[in-house]
């Protein structure tokens, strides 16, 4: 399904018309609706002044929660907590793990830095014991990860929905969550490259699994609007807690204990810039207004990726034709970027950047990302420009 939404992204496009942006997975353009909402955040702050936070909690956050809830098919949108970045949410989740032993963590060898750096540092001190399952070969990862989970004994199972360094996925979420035998084990899905890229139905796992994502990528809302779905009954009192977690209906406890809300608010931190939530709410309203769905975006991006691969082959762009296409493209169950592995990745990236073609590099892998603001004709033009730059 082809889309032509270029006119809805005029602010970002006009800012650098010479730029060929093939990094939607890294820094997604904002639609004009989000840009307008950023200015509206200032107007709302001026209008409400001291009462800004009442407006935020009573009107804006419920609106954003409803939008996320619809996209993820969550049965109870108040399970969502917000933070400026996913690292804050990861740390609060980690702070709820047992302290009478070194918690056992099962994860993959391809988690993004917001989790991997933190868990590796804790492991250095012996605070956690980490077991990692290799993502490659990607086609067998779901089975291998499930087998490791079924061994049991883990305090936390943490895995990406879409792996940042390949575009491969962890497989069916319900099957993955169902492979964890102990109901006490925390299960967390990092949806940062999945949310609003892959159509995602959390209803089958909403009562069991945490889900983290944010607005910086495919939600088109920029940095600062991250969230976590927090299933009821799991981690009711995270040790890392901010004063915003003390708002609302607080669950009673023994005298002298810090009280928490029973919903997702128990994972809130403290004062933050709410402008990103204004942008995210505007994106949801814009999508509703024009009838745009995640499924339609995903189908469009999959079509663009197929065209890109074909055009690269037809243009005989040698550095990419010789590289290994890491992203598993046999099905549509993969992320919104293509990842090529080559020892020349950094050099290719630099040559493309010199020609105003934006991509990004992760070690020996160069990534090309596609968004709903791209058209088929633009991909053809981009590949032609790449052929000239890499000749």
Per-residue pLDDT of the chain (391 residues; tens, 9 = 90+): 689 999 999 999 999 999 999 999 999 999 999 999 999 999 999 999 989 899 999 999 999 999 999 999 999 989 999 999 999 999 999 999 999 999 999 999 999 999 999 999 999 999 999 999 999 999 999 999 999 999 999 999 999 999 999 999 999 999 999 999 999 999 999 999 999 999 999 999 999 999 999 999 999 999 999 999 999 999 999 999 998 998 766 555 667 789 898 899 999 999 999 999 999 999 999 999 999 999 999 999 999 999 999 999 999 999 999 999 999 998 899 999 999 999 999 999 999 999 999 999 999 999 999 999 999 999 999 999 999 999 9
272 in Cβ contact with 83 (< 8 Å): yes
Calpha distance 105→330 (Å, rounded):
31
Calpha distance 58→34 (Å, rounded):
21
Residue with tokens 């997975």: 25
Calpha distance 63→57 (Å, rounded):
10
Kindly indicate whether the domain formed by 6-30+293-389 is annotated with CATH number 3.40.50.2020. Answer: no
- Residue in 335, 256, 250, 353 with CA at minimum distance from that of residue 297: 335
CATH class of the domain comprising 35-287: alpha beta
> Domain limits of the chain?
6-30+293-389, 35-287
The pLDDT value recorded for residue 249 is 61
Calpha distance 189→174 (Å, rounded):
11
The pLDDT value recorded for residue 248 is 66
Domains 6-30+293-389 and 35-287 share a fold: no
Calpha distance 148→146 (Å, rounded):
5
The pLDDT value recorded for residue 246 is 82
């Amino acid at each position: 399904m082809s889309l032509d939404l270029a006119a809805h992204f005029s602010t970002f496009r006009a800012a650098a018309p010479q730029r060929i942006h093939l990094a939607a997975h890294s820094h997604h353009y904002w639609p004009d609706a989000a840009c307008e909402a950023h200015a509206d955040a200032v107007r709302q702050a001026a209008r409400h002044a001291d009462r800004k936070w009442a407006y935020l909690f009573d009107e804006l956050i419920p609106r954003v929660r409803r939008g996320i809830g619809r996209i993820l098919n969550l049965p109870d949108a108040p399970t969502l907590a917000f933070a400026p970045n996913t690292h804050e949410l990861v740390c609060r989740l980690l702070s709820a793990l047992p302290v009478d032993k070194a918690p056992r963590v099962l994860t993959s060898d391809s988690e993004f830095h917001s989790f991997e750096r933190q868990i590796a540092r804790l492991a250095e001190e012996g605070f956690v014991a980490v077991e990692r399952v290799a993502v490659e070969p990607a086609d067998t990862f779901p089975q291998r990860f499930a087998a490791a989970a079924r061994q049991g004994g883990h305090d936390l199972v943490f895995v990406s929905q879409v792996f940042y360094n390949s575009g491969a996925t962890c497989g069916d979420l319900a099957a993955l969550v169902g492979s964890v035998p102990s109901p006490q084990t925390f299960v967390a899905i990092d949806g940062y490259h999945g949310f609003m890229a892959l159509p995602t139905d959390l209803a089958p796992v909403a009562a069991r699994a945490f889900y983290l994502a944010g607005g910086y990528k495919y939600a088109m809302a920029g940095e600062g609007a991250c969230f976590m779905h927090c299933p009821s009954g799991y981690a009711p009192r995270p040790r890392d807690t901010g004063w915003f977690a003390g708002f609302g209906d607080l669950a009673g406890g023994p005298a002298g204990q810090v009280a928490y809300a029973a919903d997702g608010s128990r994972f809130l931190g403290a004062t933050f810039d709410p402008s990103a939530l204004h942008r995210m709410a505007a994106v949801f309203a814009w999508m509703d207004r024009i009838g745009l769905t995640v499924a339609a975006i995903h189908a469009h991006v999959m079509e663009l990726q197929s065209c890109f691969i074909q055009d690269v082959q037809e243009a005989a762009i040698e550095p990419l034709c010789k590289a290994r296409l890491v992203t598993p493209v046999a099905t549509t169950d993969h992320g919104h970027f293509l990842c090529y592995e080559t020892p020349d990745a950094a050099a290719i990236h630099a040559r493309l950047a010199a020609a105003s073609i934006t991509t990004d590099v992760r070690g020996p892998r160069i990534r090309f990302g596609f968004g709903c603001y791209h058209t088929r004709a633009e991909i053809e033009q981009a590949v032609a420009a790449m052929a000239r730059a890499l000749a």
